[in-house]
Chain A
Amino acid sequence: DQQVKQNSPSLSVQEGRISILNCDYTNSMFDYFLWYKKYPAEGPTFLISISSIKDKNEDGRFTVFLNKSAKHLSLHIVPSQPGDSAVYFCAASVTGDYKLSFGAGTTVTVRA
């Protein structure tokens, strides 16, 4: 049973607009969350993370929001750029466990 779910397999957005990717989790023990970005023929690369002690973390155009009560997090990309076209994976972990549970991924396409 998947503990991390990304219910939108794909997202298409116009260049310059906001991309919002969503992720839900079921395990209340998760306390650290990460987003990875993956281009074709490459491995996933770390994008941004957030600890459960925060509800927001920002890094340039990327912001992750965490709603612990809803067991939901989202990744905002503003403004979206063509180079952002990739698959985005949400991942979660429990402090001290070191393993990551991944969602199925969301494919983002940024249209010019």
Chain B
Amino acid sequence: DADVTQTPRNRITKTGKRIMLECSQTKGHDRMYWYRQDPGLGLQLIYYSFDVKDINKGEISDGYSVSRQAQAKFSLSLESAIPNQTALYFCATSDSGTSGSLSYNEQFFGPGTRLTVL
């Protein structure tokens, strides 16, 4: 079974619709992230959460909101979708790490959701 799952995998919607992308993980990690990937731009951070009560904006949070329902679940919402939000969306997780270890920088990604806004 996949450690980080995303639903749906593909979604086509219309301008103005509300969309929710869901992410679940079984890795037991505290930290979760949402990224979008656009051609030529790499991955850009939308929101991140270091625990259930800690939510932070990333580089490109405008037009998005998130909810951390539990340690294992982190949802991304587009309140009113617009065409330039058409992209590939990835959820990722990372461990809180241990003293002296740098491995906590490593993030584990889900398979992605391809979202098209018409």
Q: How many A-B residue pairs have CB under 8 A?
A: 60
B37-58 at interface with A (beta carbon < 8 Å): 40-45, 48, 50, 58
A111 to chain B, nearest CB (A): 23
B113 to chain A, nearest CB (A): 10
Q: Determine chain A's interface SS by DSSP, over half rule.
A: loop
**Total residues of chain A contacting the partner, CB 8 A:** 25
A62-86 at interface with B (beta carbon < 8 Å): none
- Beta-carbon contact of B106 and A41 below 8 Å: no
- Beta-carbon contact of A95 and B42 below 8 Å: no
Q: Determine chain B's interface SS by DSSP, over half rule.
A: strand
**Total residues of chain B contacting the partner, CB 8 A:** 26
Q: Decide yes or no whether A109 CB sits under 8 A from chain B.
A: no
List chain A positions with a Cβ less than 8 A from chain B. Answer: 2, 4, 6, 9, 32, 34, 36, 41-46, 49, 51, 89, 93, 95, 98-100, 102-105
12 extra A-B contacts, CB within 8 A, seeds A49-B105, A98-B105, A99-B45: A32-B102, A32-B105, A36-B109, A42-B112, A43-B112, A46-B106, A93-B105, A98-B31, A98-B104, A102-B42, A104-B40, A104-B42
